[in-house]
Amino acid sequence: MASADVMVSADGRKPGRWAAALTAVVGILVGTLLAVVTAGLLMSSQVHVVNGWETIMNCGMPGYGIIHQAACAAIFPMVNLPQQEVYWFTTLSEGHQTLNGQNRYILYFPPGGLPPNNASWSLTMTTPKNKFVNNSINRYSVGEFSGLVPNANGSVTIYIQNTPPAGKESNWLPSPVGNFKLWLRVFVPGNAILNGSYNPPQVVGVS
């Protein structure tokens, strides 16, 4: 009776257990690497960038595979349906300059230009690794309910810097001394956000 086919090495011997285990490990590593590369390419193709802010609108939506959802989870602190919450983040000011606490910045919302929503919005300061930034007034975000004071024309200016702006402390978001990241979060966003017609303003450096 003919024997069953088996895998053999070049010299005609059956591979040992170590060889089989090594083959399995290599297969797992290669599969993982391909999954990571695929997720990165997938995210790059779906990231929407405007005025230095980045977002992905279809995170949390049904019908996408596990790689897509894992990539979303790696980028955003939470993954919700866009009808529930939309995130933008940036590490850049105008001219693609890295945000750094050695400099001062503003985020200016023109009259009627605050993020449209049916709940609230906030601007949060973190380190590049998404950790909160310790500061003297324990303020980590500003937004809908933080007591921002509008300008005379109804616009709103947020001051992003390491030291308090004289007379503008109510609109101050403290930054660290080094690099940082900003998160703009909108809860139950309005239609202008969902259909892509609303764009957050650019972070601008000031002298």
Residue 38 pLDDT:
41
pLDDT of residue 120: 97
Of 27-31, 101-105, 170-174, the poorest mean pLDDT is in 27-31
At 4, is the pLDDT very low, low, confident or very high (cuts 50, 70, 90)?
very low
Contact between residue 115 and residue 62 where contact means Cβ atoms under 8 Å apart:
no
Q: Assign residue 71 a region: left if phi > 0, alpha if psi is -120 to 50, beta otherwise? A: alpha
Residue 75 has a pLDDT of 66
Q: 170 and 59 in contact (C-beta within 8 Å)?
A: no
Kindly report the pTM of this predicted structure.
0.75
CA 131 to chain centre: 12
Which residue ranges make up each domain of the chain?
Answer: 81-206
Percent of the chain with pLDDT over 90: 62
Residues 124-171 pLDDT 10s? 999 999 999 999 999 999 999 999 999 999 999 999 999 999 999 999
**CATH superfamily ID and name for 81-206:** Domain of unknown function DUF1214, C-terminal domain (2.60.120.600)
Among 1-10, 65-74, 135-144, 172-181, the range scoring the smallest mean pLDDT is 1-10
Mean pLDDT value of segment 63-90 = 76
Higher pLDDT, 78 or 126: 126
Statement: residue 207 has pLDDT above 90? no
pLDDT at 57: 74
- What is the model's pLDDT at position 171? 98
Model pLDDT, residue 56: 79
Residue 195 predicted with pLDDT over 50: yes
pLDDT surpassing 70 at residue 88: yes
Q: Which residues are registered as beta bridge partners of 183?
A: 89, 124
